Structure 1
Amino acid sequence: MQATRVLQRAFPSWLLYTSLFIALISLTITNVPTPLDPLATVTLTYDANTQKQKSLYETDPFVYTNHSAIFFKDAEVVFQNSALSAEHIVVSSDGKRAYTGLRDGRIVYFHVENVHEGLVNFTRIGKDISLDSEKECGSPQDEAVCGRALGMAFASASLFDSYKSDLKSPSYYPGKQLLLVADAYRGLFLMDAKGKKTLLFDSVNNGTAFVKIKFLNSIAVATKRGVVYLTVTSSIFGRNQVILDVLKGEATGMLLEFNPKKKKITILKDKLCEPNGIVLTENEDFLLISLTNANKIIRYTISDQTIIDFAFAAGKSDNLEILKIQKPNHPPRDVLLIGVTSPHQKCLQWIWTDKTARKILYLLPSQFFMAYLRRVSSSFTIVDIETGDLMYVMVDPLKRNPFTSGVQKIGEYLYLTSWNHVSMLRVPLQAIQRL
């Protein structure tokens, strides 16, 4: 009798009923079929220094974020309600025009010296569905038809001599360059200064057959080698299902090399954990690649095709940019700017990796979770380019650029872009020099 009372005090009925309810719910959820099945086991691994940076950040995040208010003090919202999920920006060699792609399929540009003139329509890769229906481009389900330009890069026209006839007497951008545009669904395009375009490729040989690329993302041009490097974020889901790709957790991404003179596409690495942004180091010896699902940056050595951890991203990393900064009375140094679409929080880390949590998140209305992310995701990370050490995590106190996809130097400003917002945020360049 005494033992029964002890057990009742240790395990009250409400606790037993709650535990039983949770067990039944978990069992039910596990057996509900979804597009995520079979759910991959997500185990995030880091080398010694990356793990050290992660642990230091988790121990005291304020050490890395305490400069944020000063940094964003003079920030300014630009292109309000018109920069529809502009993810990446590329600037012409004369520094006068900056181009970006929007979620409704348009490619637009703005004048660097006069951004208040607004965005100017340039062209589009996909179809404007409003021409023959009452619908308009802009919704995720229409992206494959309307087009979704992500990564862009200017390159010397001489690299593409074998494609110039396809453009029919192309007009060049300053510096006799042409524009490369990675459309998430349609492939890699070459575009001239009047918006004429030709498809370079949209599929890749996986060793057994040519397969259509599901989710093409970022571009880096190696001028010395005359090749183009690209990331394929997923081989299962398209860009409009990126949340499904994150929740499924399966490493199906690829790193590609495209040789335009030989018209050859090579898969350099596969089974990558959602590769996203990509940037070449100054001497073109290394590629830095963000692995969004792994919360880290990896370094790919071009000479021997090896991959090692480079940096902890303090969140789900997106686009990358190398920036040279110089503080007063200090020598210049290069840093890596990392767009962070979702911050590193222990609760989020559990959600992104636990099988049951990921399935629950899929079954719940997405707007609830996205609303939470919108409140916490206006940030980017600064990393030392030599060591990979975490230097700063900049979090805008006013949350003006949620789902930050990248940070890029344009003129005398740093521009923050977003994969899921309707404006950009810019910060005077001097803000980073005084950190």
Structure 2
Amino acid sequence: MNEADGLRQRRPLRPQVVTDDGQVPEAKDGSSFSGRVFRVTFLMLAVSLTVPLLGAVMLLDSPIDPQPLSFKEPPLLLGVLQPNTKLRQAERLFDNQLIGPESIANIGDVMFTGTADGRIVKLENGAVETIARFGSGPCKTPEDEPACGRPLGIRAGPNGTLFVADAYKGLFEVDPWKREVKSLLSSDTPVEGRKLSFVNDLTVTRDGRKIYFTDSSSRWQRRDYLLLFMEGTADGRLLEYDTETGEVKVLLDQLRFPNGVQLSPAEDFVLVAETTMARIRRFYVSGLMKGGADLFVENLPGFPDNIRPSGSGGYWVGMAIIRPNPGFSVLDFLSERPYIKRMIFKLFSQETIMKLVPRYSLALELSDSGAFLRSLHDPNGQVAAYVSEVHELDGHLYLGSFRSPFLCKLSLRSV
């Protein structure tokens, strides 16, 4: 064999193709295989952990048993309801000297409120003075409330006294000058076979004879107000108490979180906010319609709290949560999906959920027939947070709050 034949029979070497990362194809194929193995292993591990976790969550008891609720599309936030920042012009009063001043009353120029630490306080000349307590205890957390008491609705009576609704203790009359406390109706007293678990707000006739008040639930207490709201329990009542006879009557039953109440100027009907349903109902206490009830206003732009008179002859309604339109109303969405509510409350505490609920303060003025007259807003609750009540006095609005450590004061001239 000559040299030329040897060259022809010698098999040429295949050139080695080098990839961009400097690896030969065999190495690249190995890396892909390893990646697939890793992904499959990770997926199997994730499934093996997630499935038992979901199973465990499904087995957990939910503290609420909500039923589906249907709402109309919220009113458009246009015209009278057009968002603004007018509440941000408010001045904060007694900052960090009050805890949750839910409701406000005045006798002359002196104002009074109840606080989350169980006190009734007088607000005069820039000072906060305790005048009454209905309970005792450390009063530092919601868990202390049953022993400590939680004053909510407060009204001035005809004889220079205050009428107070305490969520846990019942109805009281307080002489703020003598610092005397008189129990009118204890929460331990059953009314038509059911206990008063969440006494909320009250309104009083001019002669002081009748008190109309709400018991928000026979099942839930005030410290569980978010559970009551999200469950939509229909066991709240509007009641009447006679200060002379001590007689108690149930006027309306099966309400979903009845909250603020307000007598009409003619004292012929009582308005009651049905918070969960974003509406205000009306019950007639005198006249041709006595004993009857109807809707005063429905499909409100938010969830109503207390109702108080306005200088125009209408009513102020405080709201801490709105139903944005245009926009997405989370609470409307959840109301029709109770299974999501159950899951949420299996995983998170009330306090955690409250932090996730968008804050939006709204003071809405209604006419004497329930028409929207004007609205004052604080998007995100930057200044006036968690508004529970709008109390009009001498050309100013005083804004109560169920959580904030202050009151707010707003001049009506500026809005």
How far does the alpha carbon of each residue in 1:297-354 deviate from its partner, in whole angstroms, 9 at most, with x for none? 11111232222111233111100112123xxxxxxxx332111121114222122442
**Which residue number corresponds to residue 266 of structure 1?**
249
How far apart are 1:241 and its partner, in Å?
A: 0.8
How far apart are 1:219 and its partner, in Å?
A: 0.9
CA gap of 1:105–1:272, structure 2 versus 1, over 3 A, is same
2:232 pairs with 1:249? yes
Structure 2 CA distance for aligned equivalents of residues 260 and 367 of structure 1: 38
**Which residue number corresponds to residue 35 of structure 1?**
63
How far apart are 1:146 and its partner, in Å?
A: 1.2
Superposed, 1:26-425 pairs within 5 Å as 31-36=59-64, 39-44=65-70, 55-57=74-76, 61-66=77-82, 68-69=84-85, 71-72=86-87, 74-92=89-107, 95-111=108-124, 114=125, 117-127=126-136, 129=137, 136-156=138-158, 176-192=159-175, 193-203=177-187, 204-207=189-192, 209=193, 211-223=194-206, 226-303=209-286, 304-311=290-297, 312-325=299-312, 334-345=313-324, 346-363=329-346, 364-373=348-357, 375-386=358-369, 388-397=370-379, 399-425=382-408
Structure 2 CA distance for aligned equivalents of residues 185 and 108 of structure 1: 18
CA gap of 1:25–1:273, structure 2 versus 1, over 3 A, is farther
SS of 2:168's equivalent? coil
Residue identity opposite 1:308 in structure 2: D
Structure 1 CA distance for aligned equivalents of residues 190 and 149 of structure 2: 23
Structure 2 CA distance for aligned equivalents of residues 336 and 353 of structure 1: 30
Q: Do the aligned residues in 1 keep the contact of 2:217 with 2:235 (CA within 8 Å)?
A: yes
How far does the alpha carbon of each residue in 1:231-281 deviate from its partner, in whole angstroms, 9 at most, with x for none? 001110110111111122111101111112111011111111110000011
CA gap of 1:24–1:342, structure 2 versus 1, over 3 A, is farther
Larger Rg: 2
How far apart are 1:30 and its partner, in Å?
A: 5.5
Structure 2 CA distance for aligned equivalents of residues 427 and 96 of structure 1: 16
SS of 1:177's equivalent? coil
How far apart are 1:372 and its partner, in Å?
A: 3.1
Structure 2 CA distance for aligned equivalents of residues 347 and 151 of structure 1: 28
Residue identity opposite 2:309 in structure 1: I
Structure 2 CA distance for aligned equivalents of residues 353 and 340 of structure 1: 22
SS of 1:142's equivalent? helix
How far apart are 1:212 and its partner, in Å?
A: 3.2
- Give unpaired runs (5+ residues) of structure 2: 1-48
CA gap of 1:347–1:195, structure 2 versus 1, over 3 A, is same
Residue identity opposite 2:160 in structure 1: Q
Q: Do the aligned residues in 2 keep the contact of 1:256 with 1:265 (CA within 8 Å)?
A: yes
Residue identity opposite 2:226 in structure 1: I
Residue identity opposite 1:336 in structure 2: Y
How far apart are 1:31 and its partner, in Å?
A: 4.6
- Percent sequence identity over matched residues? 25
SS of 1:212's equivalent? coil
Residue identity opposite 2:69 in structure 1: T
Structure 1 CA distance for aligned equivalents of residues 330 and 375 of structure 2: 18
Structure 1 CA distance for aligned equivalents of residues 200 and 336 of structure 2: 23
Q: Do the aligned residues in 2 keep the contact of 1:313 with 1:340 (CA within 8 Å)?
A: no
Structure 2 CA distance for aligned equivalents of residues 65 and 22 of structure 1: 45
CA gap of 1:302–1:24, structure 2 versus 1, over 3 A, is farther
CA gap of 1:407–1:249, structure 2 versus 1, over 3 A, is same
Greater helix content: 1
Structure 2 CA distance for aligned equivalents of residues 72 and 201 of structure 1: 37
Residue identity opposite 2:113 in structure 1: T
Give the aligned CA root-mean-square deviation in angstroms.
2.6
Q: Do the aligned residues in 1 keep the contact of 2:388 with 2:402 (CA within 8 Å)?
A: yes
Q: Do the aligned residues in 1 keep the contact of 2:401 with 2:407 (CA within 8 Å)?
A: yes
Q: Do the aligned residues in 2 keep the contact of 1:26 with 1:356 (CA within 8 Å)?
A: no
How far apart are 1:185 and its partner, in Å?
A: 0.2
How far apart are 1:23 and its partner, in Å?
A: 11
CA gap of 1:280–1:212, structure 2 versus 1, over 3 A, is same
Q: Do the aligned residues in 2 keep the contact of 1:378 with 1:395 (CA within 8 Å)?
A: yes
